[in-house]
Amino acid sequence: MTRQPVPHTPLSDGEWHRMHPLTPLFRGGLVLVVVAGLVISNLRDRLIALFLPVVAPDVPTEEAPGDPVDFVLRHNLVLLALTAVLVVVMVLIGLFYVSWRFHTFRITGDHVEERHGVLFRSHRRAPLDRVQGVNLTRPMFARLCGMAKLEVVGAGSDANVKLEYLSTANAEAVRADILRLASGLRLAKSEAKAAAAGEPAHTLASTAAATVSAALDGLVWGPEAAVAEPASVVSIPVGRLVASHLLSRSTLILLVLLGFIVWGASVGTPWLLVSFIPALIGFGTYWVRRITRALRYSIAPTPDGVRITFGLFTTITEILPPGRVHAVQITQPLLWRPAGWWRITINRLSGHRAGSDSRAEEEATRVLPVGTRADVERVLRLLLPGLPEDEWPLVFAHGILGADDDAYTTTPRRARLLHLLSWRRNGFLLTPDALFLRRGLLHRRLAIFPLARTQSIGVAQGPIARAFRVASLHVHTVAGRVSGHLTGIDRDAALAAFADVEAAAVAAASTDRSHRWAGTTGDVAGAAV
C-alpha cells in the first residue's frame, strides 16, 4: 500500500490536485495566437485601410475575388459569422476546461504521479527513491503570469514527470517537498501546527496586480523575492561569457569559411559574399542563444543538493541532489588557455527522451560554462563533497597542470608513437574515493569518477596495442558527455587497475549514504531550499 506523507504543504498530502488554471493555454492554447497572427497577416491590407487610412492611403479597398469577408458583408451574414466565431471560441474554452479538469498530480510517500488526457489517458509515476533531480523552468510569458514548470528527473530514458504549470510559489514548495521525501526525510510539520500558527492557506493564484508586479520584478531582477535564493559561489562576468563563446571551435569554422568565401570572391565569383550572409546570421543566432541561456548563472549549496540557475528569458533552476553525480570532467580548450578559463561537465541520469536534441542534454550536464581555477575548485567542492582534502592536489597540480613528481600512471615510453604529443599527460590515478583519467595536451581534460557510483570497468587490447604491450581502460557509468575511455596504458598496470578498481568500487558503494542526504527522521523546520 502507498504510504501517505505527513503534509508539509497542502499539495503534498497524497491527494490529487489540479494544475494552474492557465495550464491549457500555455500547453496548447498558444496555437490560437499563431492562427490569429495568420488571419491578421492575410487581412492586413483591409485592417490598415479600415483603421489607418492616413498611414497607407494607397491601399486598395475594392473587393477581392474569393475574399470571405467580402462574401459575408455582401450577403448580410455578419450576425451568422459572429455567432459561428462565438461558438468556436466557446467550444475551445470548454475543451480547455475539460483538459484542465483531467490534468492532475499527487505526491505520496513513495511516488510523484501525473495524469492527463480525456479520450486517451496518460498516467506517469516517478518513484521518489529514483529521483535524480527536480528542475524548475520559468519561460518568459509564463513568468509574467506567475507560473513555472516543474520537472521531476527520473532514472531512465523518458522517465521524467512534468508538472506544467504551477504558480511559482507552489512550484517551489512542491519541489522542496519532493526533495525532502526523496532524501528519506519524513515531513514533521502537521496541519494542526500550521493552523495553530495561523499560516495562510496556499492558493493556486493570487490577485492579478500582485502576480504581474512580482513577475515583472522577477523578469528584471531574477527569481521572485519570496523565493529564498542562496548566494552563488561563482559569478561569471558577461564579458568573459561572450569572449568564451567567441574563442571557440565555431568561431574558427566561421573564420575558415569566411576565408574561402573571400578567396573565391577575389578570383572572380563575387556572389559568394552574398552566400555568406545566411551563415553569418545562423552563427549570430547560435551565439546569442547560447549566451542568453548562460546569463544570470548561479550555483550554490542547499540542504537538498546543488542548486543551479541559468537563463535570461527562460529561467531554469535545477536541484542536483547528492549522490546523483556519476562523473565530473574539467576541460580547457586551447584558445582558453591564455585566459586561464575552464569548463565543468558531469554525467547524470537526465531522464530525457532517447534521440532528444543535444541542447537539452548539454543543459543537463554543463554545470560551469566558463570559470577561473578558483571557480572550478569551488564548484568541484560542491559536486564532490566526499573527496578528502589530501586528494585535492591530484586535481589541478597533478591532474590538470602536471607536477614534476607526477603521481599518475602514464603511457610508457615504448608506446609514445600511439600518443606522440600527449603520452606524458595520458594517464590514470586510483584513490580510495575516485578514479582520475587524464587526457589531452592541446585540449586538456581531466575526468573524475566517484567509485561509489562506478558501474564496472573493462580492459581491452587490440593487435596494435598488443604489439606495444599496452591496453585500454573503460570506466562504465551512466551515458553522458564525460568519456571513461583511456588508451595507451601499460598492460600490467591496466590489469592491476582492473582488480583494484573493482575492489575499491565495492568498498565505496557499501559505505556510501549520499543518496539519503537528510536521514530518515527528524524535523524539517531547519531545512530550507
Strand (E) or helix (H) holding 328: strand 327-332
Look at 117 and 208; give whichever has higher pLDDT.
117
Average pLDDT value for residue range 434-462: 90
pLDDT at 93: 82
pLDDT at 500: 92
Quote the percentage of the chain above a pLDDT of 70. Answer: 72
pLDDT at 517: 56
* Residue given cell 491590407 in the structure block: 45
Average pLDDT value for residue range 126-131: 80
The predicted model scores a pTM of: 0.73
Q: How far apart are CA 83 and CA 80, in angstroms?
A: 5
Q: How many CB atoms lie within 10 A of CB 308?
A: 24
pLDDT at 286: 78
**Is the pLDDT assigned to residue 304 strictly greater than 70?**
yes
Q: How far apart are CA 239 and CA 245, in angstroms?
A: 10
pLDDT at 36: 67
For 351-367, the pLDDT digits (tens) are 655 444 455 566 668 88
pLDDT class of 38 with cuts at 50, 70, 90: low
Q: 355, 297, 328: which is closest to 477 by C-alpha?
A: 328
Cis status, amide bond into 165, omega within 30 of 0: yes
Q: Which of 45-49, 233-237, 295-299, 484-488 has the lowest mean pLDDT?
A: 45-49
Helix, coil or strand: residue 316:
strand
Q: Which of 40-44, 58-62, 132-136, 242-246 has the lowest mean pLDDT?
A: 58-62
Helix, coil or strand: residue 324:
coil
Q: 521, 516, 519: which is closest to 131 by C-alpha?
A: 516
For 139-150, the pLDDT digits (tens) are 887 888 888 888
pLDDT at 219: 42
**Is the pLDDT assigned to residue 528 strictly greater than 80?**
no
Among 24-28, 32-36, 56-60, 493-497, the range with the most confident prediction by mean pLDDT is 493-497
pLDDT class of 293 with cuts at 50, 70, 90: confident
Which residue type is seen at 173? A
CA distances to 197, 401, 437, 456 from 373, in Å: 48, 11, 19, 31
Look at 414 and 288; give whichever has higher pLDDT.
414
Q: Are 333 and 306 within 8 A, CB to CB?
A: no
pLDDT class of 220 with cuts at 50, 70, 90: very low
For 330-358, the pLDDT digits (tens) are 999 989 999 999 999 998 876 655 444 45
